[in-house]
Structures are given as structure tokens and as C-alpha cells.
Structure 1
Amino acid sequence: MRNLLRARGRDKAAAPSIPPGQRVYAVGDVHGRLDLFTPLMARIEQDDADRGPAETTIVLLGDLIDRGPDSAAVVAAARALAARRRVRLLTGNHEEMLLRAMNEADVLRPFLRHGGRETLLSYPLDPHLLDTADDYEVIRLAMRTAIPADDIAYLEQGEAMVRIGDYLFVHAGIQPGVALDAQSEHDLRWIRQPFLSHAGDHGCVVVHGHTIAEDVEVRANRIGIDTGAFYTGRLTALALEGTSRWLIETRVDPDGGVSCHSRSVE
């Protein structure tokens, strides 16, 4: 696949940085791909250990769930990781839809249409109910029984944004020209344009997922790391320390196995 990794307009003399003594791993949209998430976390842990002591933060950029087959197991794995490591979870638009659908029957239809059906089937919910129920309220009540309260509580703790040094981590992006403390949660979770095409300085480098690209997109003002795990079989993490940046990626190989790769960001 042609490498589209690129940087535009970055002044190396004023390279964005993470504070001394810290290290960050930001993980793109998982979308229920436990087969990619598990080896990626193992490689991140090994990479972190190999690089020596640091105050390490793992930032999950949201959309752990939906579309892929193992959303319940991904949430469980994220919870287990957070119990032993410093993990910051961002709320993606898919987590927002799930949480709203738990209480709002009219949100359930778009949730199911955009990958929520696969999430519900990863929990002990009768698939026959999804196929035959003509009352969305029945499905909503079944969701509340099937999805563990601890999973819901964990997802409800998701943050809107995380700022570390010169980097801002969000799920989708930000509204250009709007102060960070005035950004709407809707934009942080759903925006595409005008964020993606905006070339101006945001006052930080925005690291985001949400919008799938063929490869990681590196710009002077943003880095997009959603490589479409649920259908491309590629899950990407961006690692940051000082002014250094590198990528760790798991992917499904042609023979069906899963391999891990690392590469630097120039």
C-alpha cells in the first residue's frame, strides 16, 4: 500500500513536545476489533518497558465499540488495562450513541444502523429479539439487562478532551477559531469539516480519530490516526515522548494472522 504518511509545514526548530519525563500512547478507533487491540496493547507495554522509566499515559481516542464483532470484550479489556495502567478514555460518537440509546428509544434506531447491532450481539442479548421486535422500547430495556452496569459506568467516565504538553487529544476534532474551553462536546465527537481542511494554527497539535484515512495523516496542526480497523484490519497507535513521534500498528496479514509493526514519524 502506498505510504501516505506525511507532514506539512512543521518547523523542526519549534517541534511540538510532551513534557519531560512523560510518554504518551494514543490509540485510534478500535470498533470492536479485539483481535487487533489485544496485540497492540501488548506491543505498547513492551515498547514502554524497553524505553525505560517514564510517566506513561495511554489515551484511548474513543469508538471502542460498534461495527466490529467483539465490542463487549474490547470494553472489558480497556477496563482491565485502566485498572493497572494510567489510561485516559475519550468518549467517541459511538459511545455517545450507546449511552443515549440506553435512555432514549428514538436514538436506538441510528445506533443500531451505525454498528450498534454488532455491539449488542457481543453481549448476551437474544439476536432473535433484534430481528423481530417492532418496538424499540423492548430492545432498549433488553440492552439495560444485557450490558453490565460496570461497562456503562466505565464508558460514562469518558472525557471530552485531554491536553498533554503541546498535544490535544480528542475523538473527532475541534471547531477552528473557537477557544478550547468553549468547544462543544458535539464537535469534539462528531466534527469533520471545517476541521479537517483547516490549515491554521490551533495553538496545539490535535490528535484525533473518527475520520478514516488510508494511512495516518500528519499535518502541522493535526494528526489523524483512524486507519479503519473494523474493515481494513489495521489498528494504529501514535507514541510521543519529548519531540519524538513514532507509530505502532497491528494488522491482519494475508494469511489471516496478526502482526505488529513500528515506524517513526518524520
Structure 2
Amino acid sequence: MSLRWRSCPRPAGSDVPRAATPDGTVVYAVGDIHGRADLLRELLDGIRHDARLRPARRRVLVTLGDYVNRGPECRAVVDLLLSPGLGGFEFVSLMGNVEQAMLRYLDGEMAIAINWLEYGGIETAAAYGVACPLPRRRDEHSLEAMRWQDDYQDAYGATMPPQPDEIAGLEALRHELAAALPPEHLAFFRSLRTMWREGDYCFVHAGIVPGLPLEAQPARDCMWIRRRFLDSALDHGAVIVHGHSIAPEPDVRHNRIGIDTGAYKSGVLTCLVLDGAERSFLQT
């Protein structure tokens, strides 16, 4: 597999000056990884190579969350992100909805357990050597339909609470998973940020609430919002770089850039490279 560079088109009809990073700063923003350590290794190699060729005073690597669930190498993804293999970079790791859901489950919120497991938590548990004792209730088609429900219906919340006869198994699984997580991995998950700003750009996992100042954004929406954000043409005060909502190609609008290209099933992991006012994509 080889990496490919793609130009970033200017949105049609856009007559505003192009957003820019601070002088001398290059930002590499990586979309949803979802357990595809193979793609992440390849992409990080490409980022290292590009950084050697691109003069900059600051190099910032921003990962947009959803590191685990669905893909086969969730543990290896976290190992890669914690490894010291990218010297000279500042690292910013954001929290995705799957990490937030996992922490809620680990902290004892049983109402979220079934949905977290069915949205890929089974693969996460397996990557840490923990087998799930419960059968799946829904197929991939049903899960995909739920993903696009109303923003305020928490897809990982109490939409399918566990049955009384499932509680004991879920509690046992929770304790097994907590024991299997290396302390540095749990510390990584708990340290994840909600938002990051660089120049005219704002980085979040899912999006923001249109019309609210960036500094007033609820953390939950930054990790979960979908339709209200995706459908908004408002100026958000910065160009929002986000993942969470899968598209076959990077979704470039005047007010946002979506870079979740469904790596876990498409094999395409996307990095948005921002250098001053220039934009480009590096993809597996």
C-alpha cells in the first residue's frame, strides 16, 4: 500500500480569505483511526517524511479521536500514539465519542454498556485479551441507521439498556477490561482533550453547536453532534476540522473540513496538512 497526496479544493462560492495556521506552524490532523494500527503506522511514516522536507518552527500532530472500537488492533493504536517515534512534534490527542463511552462504562454506567460493545467495543475488549460474553443484538445495517439519529438521542446511551440477566456479565466484563488496560493506556484515555485551536482552525472530534461561541461549547456536543453541525452554513468563528461522520472523501466546506473517511472499513486513513494558508491531504 502506498500513500497518496491530494490537493484540498477551495469551496465553491467562497469569497472569504483562506484560513491559516500561525506563522511557522504546520499542523497534521489525523481522522478517526478505529483500531487500524496498520494504516496509522503507514501514515505516521509519511508524516515523518513530509516533516523532514517542510521547514517549520512548530510541527503539531492532532489526532481527532476514535482510536479504538471496530478495527482489529485497538491496543496497538494506543501503543503507537504513546511511542516516542515522532520527535520534534507537539502532540494533541482529542477525545472521540467511543473513548468517552468506554470511560463511562468503565466508571460503572451500565446503561451505556450494550451500545458501546455493539459499536465496536467488542473488538476493543478483544484487543486487550478480554472476551465479551454477550451475543450481538443488532447487525451493521441497524447500527449504521442509528448513527444518524437526532443529535440529542445518545447513540451510546440508554437506547438499549441491558436486561437484568445481562448485568452480571457486563459487570464482570467491566472489571476484566479495567484490569487488562495498561495504566498508561487508561491515563491516555482520561487525558484526552475536547478541543484545540491553531490560528484560524478549531479541532474537535464531531463538531460544534452552531451559533455558540467556541469557548462556550458543551463537551458532549464536541464529541457527539452530527446533523445540526453538518447542515449549518454559519460562520463558526474558525474553520472546524472534525471526524465522526464518515464520508468517502474529505468533506471540505467554507466553515468546516471533515476527515473521517471510514478507515476501519475503507482502508483510507486521512491526514489534513495545514501549512499557513495551504491545505493538502495525505491518505493511505
TM bucket, shorter chain: 0.7 to 0.9
State the distance in 2 between where 1:22 and 1:82 align.
20
Equivalent residue for 1:191, pick from 225, 235, 258 = 225
Mapped partners of 1:53, 1:188: distance in 2: 29
Is 1:159 equivalent to 2:164 in the alignment?
no
Residue 8 of structure 1 and its aligned partner are, at CA, apart by 3.0
Please name the residue that 1:18 is paired with: 21
Tell me the amino acid that sits aligned with residue 239 of structure 2: V
Paired position in structure 2 for 1:61: 64
Q: Deviations over 1:162-200 (max 9, x none)?
A: 000000000000000011111111110000121101112
Match of residue 88 from structure 1: 92
**Can you give the 5+ residue segments of structure 2 that lack an aligned partner in the other structure?**
1-5, 136-164
Partner of 2:208: 174
CA distance in structure 1 between the partners assigned to 2:126 and 2:252 by the alignment: 36
Post-superposition offset of 1:53: 3.6
1:116 aligns with 2:150: no
Percent identity between the two aligned chains: 41
Distance apart, 1:149 and its partner CA: 1.5
Name the CA shift for 1:82/1:96 in 2 (closer, same or farther; >3 Å): farther
Q: In the TM superposition, what is the alpha-carbon distance from 1:11 to its structure 2 partner?
A: 2.7
Residue pair 1:171, 1:209 contacting (<8 A) in 2 also: yes
Q: Secondary structure of 2:228's partner? A: coil
Q: Are residues 1:79 and 2:113 paired?
A: no
Which is worse superposed, 137-146 or 76-85? 76-85
Separation (CA, whole Å) in 1 of partners of 2:133 and 2:210: 44
After TM superposition, the score normalised by the length of structure 1 is: 0.87
Residue 102, structure 1, aligned to residue 136, structure 2:
no
Residue 38 of structure 1 corresponds to which residue in structure 2? 41
Unaligned runs of 5+ in 1: 251-266
1:242 equivalent in alignment to 2:276: yes
Partner residue in 1 for 2:161: none
Give the number of equivalent residue pairs.
246
Q: Distance in 2 between matches of 1:161 and 1:193?
A: 19
Q: Which residue identity lines up with residue 70 of structure 2 in the other structure?
A: R
Cα offset for 1:9? 3.2
User: Structure 2 counterpart of 1:200, which letter?
Assistant: L
For 1:194-213, list aligned pairs within 5 A: 194-213=228-247
Shift of residue 130, structure 1, vs aligned partner: 5.4
2:209 is paired with a residue of what secondary structure?
coil
Q: Is the 1:8–1:218 Cα contact (8 Å) retained in structure 2?
A: no
Say if 1:128 and 1:211 are closer, same or farther in 2 by CA, change over 3 A. closer
The aligned residue for residue 259 of structure 1 is: none
CA contact (8 A) 1:130 1:139 kept: no
Moved more, 38-47 or 50-59: 50-59
* Contact residue 9 and residue 219 of structure 1 kept, 8 A: no
Summarize the Cα distance change of 1:128–1:200 in structure 2 as closer, same or farther, 3 Å threshold. Answer: closer
CA shift at 1:37, angstroms? 0.5
CA contact (8 A) 1:63 1:91 kept: yes
CA distance in 2, matches of 1:70, 1:130: 21
Pair 1:138 & 2:172 matched: yes
CA distance, structure 2, for counterparts of residue 128 and residue 29 of structure 1? 24
CA-to-partner distance for each residue in 1:116-160, whole Å, 9 max, x for gaps? 0000100122x26456x9421111110111111210101111111
Distance change >3 Å, CA 180–CA 235, structure 1 → 2: same
